[in-house]
Chains A and B, each alone.
Chain A
């Protein structure tokens, strides 16, 4: 007692970072395609309730996560229709999406307050989970933690080493040039937006099904906005998003633990440390030439 168990702390860090990681990764792809979707919070909370409701009714958390991805994507599709087809302003549409998502989720969640979701199964690693410290840190989690990590690698590889990633980045850097080359700008962007929505939905469901496990109105409590900020500070790179999410999640958990052990650091500093440290590290790292995608936030109107 009194000391912090590093194994437990690292394990808690990975769980705390997962919702942020998923949502930020989705938004990263969206922004690399040149679209600024500020509706991450709305899509997360919609995913949280869709996932929760389906998991409770079907008894299967995995079905819940599928539904969460679907719910997030459905809301994102609305955003895509507004901004890509109706050419509405992306900032305004994104903010509206957040408000709409918060309202919709509290409506959908009316009957789910105080209900316990089915427990999330954990993959069985057999003997590996019993390895001291390492077993706890690496082999004690639910499936979504591993899926999020795999997704980081997949997004990184897709963006940097595939033709699809090249097209996506072309669309994001200069949509007129991409259009002139014959790429379907709107189609690419709609797909990216839906991917972003699914990821945000999964992140939200990780909060409602694993991290807290319960449904409470407004339970994402600003995680979507943190995810948005992480993408910028990570200068639109998948690896740095992972670093940022772990830093933020890690320092958040660490400061709570430090408080619990009664360490003599003023609580005010501990409380602000997650924000400060994450911003500091990522800003230092992005001191190179990295910059925002060229067409970010601009409306694309196909010339005929």
Chain B
């Protein structure tokens, strides 16, 4: 008997075995834009992935791929994940929107969840968090804490999510400190620690004593720490290793409950395409501990702001608010529509500088 003949049944049996387990287990895939160790955005998504594993134990298997570039190559990475047998795939960055849709059209039986996007299909849902609620709290603290009245903001790409964050922070900083000015640097990257550090450095040299970031690494925290008298906020993750100073608070993204719920829906066969936008209320956005570097009354006011948003009593975009060019946007007491917020492409009145197209 030749070796091939001997091995064929073994291979067949193995093949069968894997098919059987594959049917038993639900496979959930995750596409990350940065490395898990970024200490920010991707780190929190991976924490939620581990929570899914913890919650379901043997019933679910998770797979992931780190540092997938946004753009054409993402399509290949997502397709590969489908071919590995994933039943549900979370693509966790805005730039994965088109690649996710392209792959989803080819595989109608696989469910997709795209983070922070706005396009859906029968097998593609979108989910995002109302980070701007957290930005409002940050803006409040920043406006109270700044002495130079210059607040530096490291932005990533000029997309609605980022612009919303800048506006929410500015509105609430200017409310407690009308003299405040925002200096924005567009880094055109989600993750590039040396560049993020350089951007923070440039802002500090331009007089900023508060740095807000919408990029994923902890590099700006280090730059602020080196400068000595600059405060920062953790972005996407607590970044508690830089507390109590320079990091005085943070926005924490908590994806775990959503990921568990959606995995459960796939297991139960009840998964349907939807668009979810959760905030502080649902627990998707959390405010990290406000440290002792912040005076007690400022902290109390910031927490009150957070509570009001959680209770639905206050919306960060409540009129009267004008656009940057002075034209009216929201009348007294009027609250911004979700549609306007989802497509936000303008600064509010008082902001200087242009949004790149």
Contacts of B252 in A (CB 8 A): none
Query: Which residues of the other chain, A, contact B192 by a CB distance below 8 angstroms?
Result: 221-222
Q: Check B226 against A106 for contact (C-beta < 8 Å).
A: no
Interface residues of A in 111-138 (CB under 8 A from B): 113-116
Sampled A-B contacts (15; CB under 8 Å): A4-B205, A5-B205, A106-B36, A113-B37, A113-B241, A114-B242, A214-B219, A218-B37, A256-B199, A259-B184, A260-B208, A261-B206, A262-B183, A262-B353, A266-B356
Do residues B217 and A219 form an inter-chain contact, with CB atoms below 8 A?
yes
Q: Give 14 new A-B contacts, CB below 8 A, not counting A106-B37, A260-B202.
A: A1-B206, A4-B205, A16-B194, A102-B67, A106-B35, A115-B241, A116-B222, A207-B194, A218-B34, A218-B38, A219-B217, A259-B184, A266-B354, A271-B186
Task: Check A267 for interface membership: any CB of B closer than 8 A.
Answer: yes
Asked if A218 meets B186 with Cβ closer than 8 Å, knowing A16-B198, A264-B354, the reply is: no
| A211: chain B residues within 8 A (beta carbon) | 194, 197-198
On whether the beta carbons of B35 and A218 are closer than 8 Å, the reply is yes
Give the residue of B183, B189, B194, B206 whose beta carbon is less than 8 angstroms from that of A219.
B194
B345 within 8 A of A: no
Q: Is the CB of A113 within 8 A of B39?
A: yes
What distance in Å separates the Cβ of B32 from its nearest Cβ neighbour in chain A? 11
- Residue among B189, B194, B354 with most chain A CB within 10 A: B194
B185 at the A/B interface (Cβ < 8 Å)? yes
Please state if B219 and A216 are interface contacts (CB–CB under 8 Å).
Answer: yes
**A222 CA / B67 CA spacing, docked (Å):** 12
A109→B197 contact, CB < 8 A = no
Q: Would you give the shortest CB distance from B33 to chain A, in whole angstroms?
A: 11
Q: Which 4 A-B pairs rank lowest in CB-CB distance, beginning with the nearest?
A: A114-B241, A217-B37, A217-B35, A267-B356
Among residues of A, the one whose C-beta sits closest to the C-beta of B193 is A219
Q: Known: A16-B194, A257-B205. Is A217-B36 also a contact (CB below 8 A)?
A: yes
Pairwise interchain contact B354-A212, C-beta atoms closer than 8 A: no
Give the CA-CA distance A259 to B184 in the complex, in Å: 7
Contact B39 A114 (CB under 8 A): yes
Q: Which residue of A lies closest to B205 (CB)?
A: A8
A252 at interface, CB cutoff 8 A: yes
What sequence of 0s and 1s flags, for each residue 191-226 of chain A, a beta carbon within 8 Å of any chain B beta carbon?
Answer: 000000000000000010001111011111111000
B159-191 interface code vs A (CB 8 A; 1 in, 0 out): 000000000000000000000000111111101
Whole-angstrom distance between the alpha carbons of A2 and B181 in the complex? 12
Q: Is B201 located at the chain interface by the 8 A CB criterion?
A: yes
Residue of A nearest to B43 (CB): A113
CB atoms of A114 and B218 under 8 A apart: yes
- CB within 8 Å of B: which of A234-252? 252
Contact B194 A19 (CB under 8 A): yes
**Are B207's CB and A259's CB within 8 A?**
no
- Measured between beta carbons, the chain A residues less than 8 angstroms from B203 are 260
CB neighbours (8 Å) of B189 from chain A are: 221
B residues with a Cβ closer than 8 A to A are 34-39, 67, 150, 152, 158, 183-189, 191-195, 197-199, 201-203, 205-208, 217-219, 221-223, 225-226, 241-242, 352-354, 356-357
Task: Say how far A283's CB is from chain B's closest CB, in angstroms.
Answer: 23
CB distance from B205 to the nearest CB of A (A): 5
Minimum C-beta distance from B76 to chain A (A): 16
**Within 8 Å of chain B (Cβ to Cβ): is A268?**
yes
Q: Is the CB of B185 within 8 A of A212?
A: no
Residues A1-49 near B (CB distance < 8 A)? 1-2, 4-5, 8, 12, 16, 19
Kindly name the residue among B150, B191, B198 whose own CB sees the greatest number of chain A CB atoms within 10 A: B198
Answer whether residue A76 sits at the interface, using C-beta atoms and an 8 A cutoff.
no
Residues of B within 8 Å of A259, CB to CB, are 184-186, 202
A268 to B158, CA, bound (A): 10
Q: Say yes or no: A252-B218 contact (C-beta < 8 A), given A113-B37, A218-B67, A218-B191.
A: no
Which of the residues B187, B191, B193 comes within 8 Å of A212, measured between beta carbons?
B193
Residues of B within 8 A of A260 (CB): 152, 183, 185, 199, 202-203, 205-206, 208
Q: Complex: how many Å from CA A212 to CA B224?
A: 10
Complex CA–CA separation, A19 to B186 (angstroms) = 23
Cα–Cα distance between A211 and B217 once the two chains are bound (Å): 14
Complex CA gap A217/B152 in Å reads 25
The reply on A144 being an interface residue by CB < 8 A is: no
